[in-house]
Structure 1
Amino acid sequence: MISVTRLNGDSFLLNAMLIEQIQSFPDTTITLVNNKRLVVKESEREIVQLMTNYYKQVGIVAIQQKAGDSGES
């Protein structure tokens, strides 16, 4: 789960696995897989970073630097 903030200042937890699309209109709009849309204060970049951190935390995304590190220069 990631913590995001509605435009009115209320924070809530969102299941990052349900996010299908993120857009800026200029407000950040998150579209979920069920077509529900949420408008949040965080930027697209912040949401992507929160999602990436969450995926790493639960083991969905491996740390690419270690996986691709062959020790060559």
Structure 2
Amino acid sequence: MIQLTKLNNDTLTVNAVYIERVESFPDTTITLVNQKKLFVKESEEEVERLVTNYYQSIGIYQLSREIGDDDES
């Protein structure tokens, strides 16, 4: 789980596994797999760092590096 800050300064905790994509419009917009959108104060890069740290803590990050990404050729 990662903790983020909504635009109104409320905090929320999100299960990073359910994040489909992160974009900047310029506000950072997180789209979940159910297509719900979250708008947060953290930058796109900061969200990526938090997600990577979370994946590393539960052992998913290394697994994805060992298996590889279909986009890599």
Same-fold call, TM > 0.5?
yes
**What RMSD, in angstroms, separates the aligned Cα atoms of the two structures?**
1.4
- Identical aligned residues as a percent: 56
Higher helix share: 2
> Over alpha carbons, which structure has the higher Rg?
1
TM-score normalised by the chain length of structure 2: 0.84
- Asked whether 1:25 is paired with 2:14, we answer no
Deviation at 1:11, TM superposition (A): 0.6
Q: Which amino acid aligns with 1:57?
A: S
Moved over 2 A (4+): none
Any stretches of 5+ residues in structure 2 without a counterpart?
67-73
How many residues get paired? 64
Gaps of 5+ in 1: 68-73
